[in-house]
Amino acid sequence: DADVTQTPRNRITKTGKRIMLECSQTKGHDRMYWYRQDPGLGLRLIYYSFDVKDINKGEISDGYSVSRQAQAKFSLSLESAIPNQTALYFCATSPSLQGTEQYFGPGTRLTVT
Amino acid sequence: SQQGEEDPQALSIQEGENATMNCSYKTSINNLQWYRQNSGRGLVHLILIRSNEREKHSGRLRVTLDTSKKSSSLLITASRAADTASYFCATEGQGAQKLVFGQGTRLTINP
């Protein structure tokens, strides 16, 4: 089984709808991250969490919210989806040590019409 | 804004040739990492080089880091068709504890 899983893998939704993307990990890592990737661009950080009680905004948090339900689960919500939130969304995890790699989920392709 | 700027944006070479990708960044870093992404999939970590290291090897990969020029390069030797992917550099700033990614280099290996 994959260490970092994301659901759903693909989602089409309409403008104004609320949508939640979920991420689960079995690596036992404290740190979790949400990124978005737009075509031809690198990843931009939306939110990150260093433990269950620690949530931080990233570079592009406007229009998004997150919930860290447990060490293993980190959800990203779009309260009212808009077309420019159409993107590929990735969850990642890392150990609580500075200078370590991140482990990525397979991604969720979200289309807002 | 993104920390890393990668060059070239796209690279197409013949199988067996070497591929070199470059990354420049703006601020002081703890480490620089390279990741690979196959089309539309999650990123996979390739190699991490710390700010006090100058060169690192992993199989057919060689990474260099020049902190005075704020730049890094990734060399893939003896390329294979399976190396076709996008490659991203990511920097961890001093005290930042999070990564900032570049826009990536799209590498195509022609058989």
- pLDDT per residue rounded down to tens, chain B (111 residues): 446 789 999 999 999 999 999 999 999 999 999 999 998 889 999 999 999 999 999 999 999 999 999 999 999 999 999 999 999 999 998 877 789 999 999 999 999
How far apart, in whole angstroms, are the C-alpha atoms of residue B9 and residue A4? Answer: 29
Task: Report DSSP state, residue B95.
Answer: T
Total residue count of chain B as it appears in this document: 111
The tokens for A23 are: 């991420």
From A42, A100, A109, residue closest to B101, measured CB to CB: A42
Backbone angles phi, psi at B83, to 5 degrees: -80, -10
> Which of B44, B63, B99 is the best substitution to test chain A (most A C-beta atoms within 10 A)?
B99
Residue B1: what pLDDT? 45
Residue B29 · residue B37 · CB < 8 Å: no
Quick check: B89 and B33 in contact, CB under 8 A? yes
